[in-house]
Chain A
Amino acid sequence: MSSTTTKTEPREDRETILRVEGLTKHYSQGSGLFDSIWPKPKVKAVDNVSFEIERGETLGLVGESGCGKSTLARSVLNLVEPTDGAVYFNGRDIANLSGEELRQQREDMQMIFQDPQSSLDPRMKVGTIVEEPMRAHDLYEGEREERARELLEKVGLDPQHYNRYPHQFSGGQRQRVNLARALAVNPDFIVCDEPVSALDVSIQAQVLNTMQELQDEFGLTYLFIAHDLSVIRHISDRVAVMYLGQMVELAETEELYENPQHPYTQALLGSIPVPDPRSKGRRGLLEGDVPSPINPPSGCRFRTRCPKLIAPDEYDMTEREWADVRRFTRAVKRRTFEVQGEAQLRSEFFEQGVPSGKAGDTVETALDSLLSEEWDQAETLLQESFAEPSICAQEKPDYTVETEHGMDVHHAACHLHRDGIESTANAD
């Protein structure tokens, strides 16, 4: 989870293979001389992420593009050097290894990439591709070809394909070659970065099934990254949800899908088109785009789009009034409407009337500013009065909630789960 304070209880029957603590990766935006004198702000791709993976399990990592999934995967393997934090693999911190030590460590950890086409050298035969990691690690001298053929068979290809080139295979078959290559040095842990998202549905299922069979046979541990929530549900034992460089929720698969506690997870799950015309789901639950990771929102990073943003304590509004104010505040910030007159503004945003009291006064002032075309003034006022004082903007959330399905700990980084507020806020 996003904090190291909440620790999973030690479970005797399970062994932690990978522990990530406060992993952070910030990319700098330039490397020239001027950039070293006047540095540009950094892109906070991954920010203080912590989690553990047990031996033999599959941890699914899900999130939208740009949320830092792939950067996290690469930093875990130290393919990109983490800015901060530690990664313990079998108890050894590999985040600070380098050179030969790191190279040797990689024998136990492999990676599969998204694009099966570009991750295979078109001028090498499949056999050679599969043998390459063995050569790199000086393993299986003299029996490499035999092992390569064996592996090809294991991943569902014909051992006779040893002498073929990647272009002679279909996308699904190429991804199988990637699997065989990753297995070549007999690793314990494989990071799979969107391994099936480039494949057709029917082929996807074939590859997923093979991956599960291999996991059972070799006792593999997967960190499985995907943006497709259906695939994640199918393959994972536990699921972590990322948003804008941070983890917002982590729980066992069944628990996460049946009892999601973070509004972002709920929105994600609600947006997936369900392949059944009779289940009319809600979709498009989120407005706007993901904010820039260069200057992410304070506190909870999801708060700028959260449909359950908590009202600042100083106001006394009903749920309905707060919903109106929240919508108005965001619409002004995103400039999604045109001012055509006072009546139009009021009917568009405050059909039931402007809230009374202090909140109402602020809204009235903002409406006046809008009517005199002072957008910036209205925006600043609304942001300072309603968005910034919310606990969501003030503090970084990190809570453990009650688990309904299964036994494992359920983390949800949302202030709705601080004591007492749950009942009122969920009424939204």
Chain B
Amino acid sequence: MAEPLLTVENLQTQFFTEEGVVRAVDGISFTVEEGELVGLVGESGAGKSVATSSIMRLVEEPGEVVGGTVKYRDQVIIDFEEGPDGERRPSDEMLSNKQMRDEIRGNEIAIIFQDPMEALNPVFTVGSQLKEFIEINRDVSGKEAKQIAIDMLREVGIPEPEERYDSYPHQFSGGMRQRVLIAMALSCEPSLIIADEPTTALDVTVEGQILDLVDELQDKYGTSFVWVTHDMGVVAEICDRVNVMYLGEIIEQAEVDDLFHDTKHPYTQALLKSMPRPDETVEELNPIKGVMPEAINPPPGCRFHTRCPDAREVCRRTRPVYQDVSGPEGYPHRVSCVKYESVGYEDSEPLDTEATAAFGGDIIEAQGESNE
């Protein structure tokens, strides 16, 4: 197998706030192969968006990437080494901010954000923004850039692109704005597009159109995607491989079919069981009890144990390590749950957690009180 396009290893991003250190992304590792669509899925607060902005080196104060390696082909986006005094410093191979701007962002890796209205400047026309982006990232004249911009708008299915070139963002519908952002991302022919919840704000029929478009474009250009979403339906539709995040960690990593049909982690299982289905009548939903704890003060041991229906005493003490539970073929199926380790899960006492308590959704309070 060829080298992966993007390799993320043990990436850690922390936010240094007044209340303490928020470990928003806490040691995640995954790869993206050429032409592959990799999902990053989880509930709000799982650290999905922080993970993507870390890869793009777009994390802002008080946040900081504090560890790990990110490699794109043979370029090193993030890497640290230990200095002479034992302090952490970026390694020599790591790209400078200028190189990041000139060589990576836009040209090699593009990003599409969730809210197209916020990503477009309301006081400039759609065309001029697209043209500016192309002029900056590709070595072309203004006239050529305009032509590329119009072609891209047509490519993503904007009707009458010559006329719409001079429209302002507010004159476009939500779906059309998202198409503009896709056009922008594609216009510099990047090898990797990071899409951060790009269809979440859209209606289901429009979402369908966008997913179709992504399929088509992927076939045509062979672009790889990192697709961030909370919607397991979208994951099932488009992803090749999936990483499930919970509280800053990737807790399960598998090919899409394995994830849905050979689900290993209790969180993934619970997530799938808690969803109402569009294609069948579900008599009763089994919600995951409680809410996700805050990343500032994560539970000890396995981070999911406070809400886990299978939690046992050992889960509170033991920090699970990745276990490869895959069959002989295909990509590894990794899961981080002590059930699959030999640390005495079977003999451990079942734990009295939120999952068995009378009231759901109470963890924030419980923690607040214990801190007082």
Contacts and interface: CB of A to CB of B under 8 A. Distances in A.
- Does A associate with B in a complex? yes
Interface of A: 64-65, 156-158, 161, 168-170, 172-173, 176, 200-206, 208-209, 227-231, 233-235, 253-254, 257, 267-279, 281, 283-290, 334-336, 338
A253 B281 contact: yes
B277 A275 contact: yes
A202 B270 contact: yes
A124 B39 CA distance: 41
B44 A273 contact: no
30 contacts: A65-B203, A156-B359, A168-B368, A201-B232, A201-B271, A205-B288, A206-B288, A206-B289, A208-B285, A209-B284, A209-B287, A234-B277, A234-B282, A235-B276, A257-B278, A268-B205, A271-B205, A273-B237, A277-B236, A277-B261, A278-B257, A278-B260, A281-B237, A283-B211, A285-B205, A286-B205, A287-B209, A335-B159, A335-B160, A336-B159
Nearest to A285: B208
A310 B5 CA distance: 49
Contacts of A230: 233, 275-278
Given A168-B365, A208-B276, A278-B261, 17 more contacts: A156-B359, A201-B232, A201-B274, A203-B361, A205-B286, A206-B289, A209-B284, A229-B204, A233-B276, A233-B278, A234-B276, A273-B237, A274-B278, A275-B232, A277-B259, A288-B159, A289-B175
B348 to A, nearest CB: 25
A253 B278 CA distance: 11
Contacts of A285: 205, 208
Of all A-B residue pairs in the complex, the 8 with the closest CB atoms, nearest first, are A273-B233, A205-B287, A284-B212, A283-B208, A234-B276, A202-B288, A284-B208, A271-B208
A126 B29 CA distance: 42
B195 interface: no
B209 A202 contact: no
B275 A273 contact: no
B205 A267 contact: yes
A248 to B, nearest CB: 13
B154 interface: yes
A304 to B, nearest CB: 13
A195 B204 CA distance: 18
A219 to B, nearest CB: 20
A281 B272 CA distance: 18
B103 interface: no
Contacts of B119: none
B9 interface: no
B237 A274 contact: yes
Contact of A283 (B154, B160, B173, B212): B212
B161 to A, nearest CB: 9
Nearest to B163: A335
B274 A156 contact: no
B291 A172 contact: yes
B352 to A, nearest CB: 17
Contacts of B231: 273
Interface string B285-321: 1111101000000000000000000000000000000
Given A200-B44, A202-B288, A233 B281 contact: yes
Contacts of B286: 205
A133 B257 CA distance: 50
